[in-house]
Every structure is written in structure tokens, then in C-alpha cells.
Amino acid sequence: PSLAPSSAACDRSVHQILRGNYDAALRQLSGAKTSGGAPAEVENLRGLALLLDGDTTKALASFEKALELQPTLQAARFNRALALLRNRDYVKASADLKSVYADEHSPLRADAAYHLGIASDRMGRPAEAETWLDNAIKLDDQLDAALLYVGMLRERRGDLQSAGRAYLDYLAKYPQSASALLRFGISAQKAGRIETARTYLQRAIAAAPKSDEAIEARKFLVMWE
């Protein structure tokens, strides 16, 4: 989610949102307009608090109102796309995200590309998804979620070498990531590197013994016993 550049009147609400105190943020936003908060920014923040609190319908209404008040407020457009993604409305979400991505000065371009990758994949367009994720990584090499996701897409289409590189790059930053350890182990197994696969699957179990990834890793290890 993205916060719009806020006025001083919205700062306390932003603080509450970042701390997860969504009810408190919504109460403060109710008086923000009369305290000098820009109406579009107030609506964007209200929508963000509602979205994070799980009320997607009301959140969408707030983002719509924010964009009616200020059509150029890219933070509200990006947040509306996230709400649409949650509602599985991938076509409308993609339209918003492409609008954000097209703004070469937007600080949200990398995040927009990443979420376009998600939307494309869920619409059954994996090649398009991979392109968007590559774009996201080029724009922000710290966007590690895109690196892990693109590895999964490469593994899915059978490019195990490229997938493995992506997983190892991710593991260089997060060596205890059960997800990356599992995926690298499975990729190694698919490539016929059984001992390497065994090592990484065992590491996935050790990293998070009670996780879904550990359960999956154990299934593979049992097959080799």
C-alpha cells in the first residue's frame, strides 16, 4: 500500500496506520478535513486503513472518492489497484497499475510492475508476468519479493538454471527463507541433482520445522528413503 504525501493534519493517522491501529486512524481521519488535511489525501488514507483492516468494499469507495477529488493522486490509484487485486478483479487492477507504471516520475513504478506481474500470472499470462517482474527488479533491485516470484515462474516453465540463480540471489539476502530453500531444493531435484536437493530440503525443514514448506520438503525426502 502507498501513503499519499500527507499534510501535518494527517501525520498522526499515518502513524496509527503504520502501527496497525486502524480504528484509531479512522477516528483521526474523521476530523482531519476540518484540521487542514487535503480531502483527497484524507480519503486515500481512510481507504488504506479500511483495506488493511479487511473492509475492501469501503476501501474501494474511499479510493474512488480520492480520485474524483484528485485524479492525479497516484497513491490512491495504486491502492485502488491493490483492493481490486484482493477482489480478483485483475483486468481493472492492471489498468490502474499500468497507469501508475506509465508515470516515469512515480516512486511507485517498481511496485506497480511487481503487482502487474501478480495480476498477469493470475490471468494465466506467465510470460507477461515474468516480463513485468523483470521490469520491477530493474527499477528496484531491493524488491526481493519480485526476485523470488520470478524464480518460481522460471521454474514453472522449466528454466531450472535461471530459477536456481534467482533463488540463490534471494537466499544470499535471506539464508533462512524456507520458501526459497524449498524451491531451490525442488528445482535441484528436477534437474537431477539429488544430493543438492536433499541438502536444501533439509535446510528448509530446519529453518521452519512447522511450516507448510517443511511439510512439502519432508514429502520429497520420504520418497528417497
Q: How confident is the model at residue 34 (pLDDT cuts 50, 70, 90)?
A: very low
Q: Could you read off the pLDDT of 47-102 as tens digits, one per residue?
A: 988 998 899 999 999 999 999 999 999 999 999 999 999 999 999 999 999 999 99
The secondary structure of 75-97 as a DSSP string is HHHHHHHHHHHHTT-HHHHHHHH
Which of 25-34, 47-56, 104-113, 149-158 is the least confident region?
25-34
pLDDT at 189: 94
Q: Is the pLDDT of residue 175 over 60?
A: yes
pLDDT at 2 over 90: no
Q: What is the pTM of this model?
A: 0.84
- Assess whether pLDDT exceeds 50 at residue 112: yes
